[in-house]
Homo-oligomer: A and B are copies of this chain.
Amino acid sequence: MRMSRGFLPTLKEVPAEAQIASHRLMLRAGLIRQTAAGIYAWLPMGLRVLRHIEQVVREEQNAIGAQELLMPTIQSSELWRRSGRYDAYGPEMLRIRDRQDREMLYGPTNEEMITDLVGQTIKSYRELPKTLYHVQWKFRDELRPRFGVMRGREFFMKDAYSFDASYEDAVATYRRMMLAYLRTFQRLGVQAVPMVADTGPIGGNLSHEFLILAPTGESGVFYDAALEEQDWLAEKVDIDDHASLETFFNQVTQSYAATDEMHDQAEWDKVPENRRREGRGIEVGHIFYFGTKYTEGMDISVSGADGAPLYPEMGSYGIGVSRLVAAIIEASHDDAGIIWPASVAPYKAVILNLKPGDKQSDALCEKLYGHAPDALLYDDRNDRPGVKFNDADLMGHPWQMIVGPRGAKEGKVELKHRATGERFDLSVDEALAKVFAP
């Protein structure tokens, strides 16, 4: 994208309503604009980040055999009455009456709808297991929306729902999902630690929250440094083998990790002191096994191996995709702006033409830009170099390709790495090779 043509409005002033870094930076860098309390429009650069995150999430869901579908945003109250949640759900549910005075709602989650869909469709235990997910807009009518998309009202979420024929299968599904989550967050370039979470009346230990470490996090977190050291993408797990999944799961859960809510001082004291990590975290994912709560509650069964009705065992698994944009920024920024991990960055690099109109500079920039115009941002604006440097740092592209008249004469690009500040004097081919290295 050429910045002279793009819709990339930056702000010089720090907006007064923005209390945390990610909210300030998302407004200043032109990722979002508020259109109503807790509701945001995603401008082109913000949307690119959102889509990149969505795609990583999708690929890792597909990799464990989850299947994507898409449920609507507006639901009928009738479904929620069947589960008993229509009256139980608080004022966070956006309730609507349509023109025929039917009670509808904007879905905050989809347990009821997916359970009903599966009930209409799946008749036998032989058709299980099934894990289904969608990435869809949801609404929670927060009383005090704040922190930008971190706690907005309309938000974008991946929610998966699993249906298994037995508890053992459900446990295997849960473990597969934990692996998918660890891989997802690693690919997103953030440290997200799984913490055991409250299971309420369900019991057991099959509920984990994933928290991204960031000083502005809403929860205190305590965890064993062992959890930082794993390369989950390299980890060999046979997802079709229950024993392999169990080994993996034990390896994750043997290390202490808890939010302040669930913190256990006695267990914490057993962690060797040099491995104790304390900090704050932002919840970006939650996986939860809840058994037959909805299938029994809504009386949705399939025929079991013995011919008798069988209530599938369920779990649900959420990732806050729009919230992740803010959480990644909280975890990865400095005073000058955002520092995007390469996997989610809106563009691989920005080309800074320090002197538009200088023939050699223009030609060199066009050559760079022509290599991948969809993946590069070209700052071709008639602005001072200082403005361009500042905007580049603010927007946080992983690389800056700096082209001035002196270097251009020799066919040289100055490459700056946003995260480390390292600089390299390179030829066009060398610079492109570095920016597009896999």
Interface of A toward B, CB cutoff 8 Å: 1, 5-7, 9, 33, 35-37, 39-44, 46-47, 50, 65, 67-76, 78-79, 91-92, 94, 96, 98-100, 102, 104, 106, 113, 116-117, 120-122, 130, 132, 137, 139, 141, 143, 153-154
Contacts and interface: CB of A to CB of B under 8 A. Distances in A.
Nearest to A112: B35
Contact of A154 (B1, B74, B122): B74
A50 B134 CA distance: 14
A6 B36 contact: no
25 contacts: A7-B69, A7-B130, A9-B121, A9-B122, A35-B72, A35-B75, A35-B116, A36-B72, A36-B75, A36-B102, A40-B72, A41-B71, A41-B72, A43-B69, A46-B69, A72-B154, A73-B137, A74-B94, A74-B139, A74-B153, A92-B99, A94-B96, A96-B106, A99-B143, A100-B143
A67 B33 contact: no
Contacts of A91: 99
Copies of the chain in the assembly: 2
Contact of A33 (B7, B74, B117, B153): B117
B36 A76 contact: yes
Contacts of A94: 74, 96, 98-99
A401 B67 CA distance: 23
B36 A104 contact: yes
A74 B141 CA distance: 11
Nearest to A43: B69
Contacts of A98: 94, 141
B141 A99 contact: yes
Contacts of A132: 7
B113 A76 contact: no
Given A33-B117, A36-B104, A120-B33, A69 B42 contact: yes
Nearest to A126: B4
A72 to B, nearest CB: 5
Contacts of A100: 143
B106 A74 contact: yes
Contact of A73 (B65, B67, B141, B154): B154
Contacts of A33: 117, 120-121
Which 5 A-B pairs give the minimum distances between C-beta atoms?
Answer: A36-B76, A42-B70, A9-B121, A91-B99, A41-B71
Contacts of A7: 67, 69, 121, 130, 132
B65 A41 contact: no
Contacts of A71: 35, 41-42
Contacts of A130: 7
